[in-house]
Amino acid sequence: MSKDRKIDIEEVNGVTVVRLLEKKILDESNIEALGQELFALVDVDGRRKVVLEFKVVEYLSSAALGKLITLNQKMAAAKGKLVLCCIQKEILEVFMITQLHRILTICDDLDQALDQF
């Protein structure tokens, strides 16, 4: 795989666990590349159970939030499910302010996220 990958993928009991590898998801080109990798999970690989782990992410731009919304819509359209976990407090506050916690499934940790399936 390319050294420029933005994600790491692991299968856990039939669920695709996607670890975001960037601390700061701010740059437009990085966000576009991340979006392409995430969308390919659904559109190309046909994955239907996906957990996004945010453990290392410290900053997230509004454009990156848009990619998450689109990914969630793609998953729903494909009759799949997207769950987010391990989101740092500062980023979680953004999800609350923007009301995204109402449309995205957010869990505290990976175990809790895996239990959603």
Query: What are the two backbone dihedrals, phi and then psi, of residue 90, each rounded to the nearest 5 degrees?
Result: -65, -40
Query: What are the two backbone dihedrals, phi and then psi, of residue 69, each rounded to the nearest 5 degrees?
Result: -65, -45
Is the pLDDT reported for residue 2 higher than 80? no
Separation between Cα atoms, residue 65 and residue 104, nearest integer Å: 11
Is the pLDDT reported for residue 8 higher than 70? yes
List, in order of start, the domains of the chain with CATH numbers: 7-114 (3.30.750.24)
State pLDDT tens for residues 65-85.
999 999 999 999 999 999 999
How far from 109 is each of 15, 35, 50, 71, 78, CA to CA, in Å? 15, 23, 14, 20, 25
Confidence of residue 5 (pLDDT cuts 50, 70, 90): confident
Confidence of residue 63 (pLDDT cuts 50, 70, 90): very high
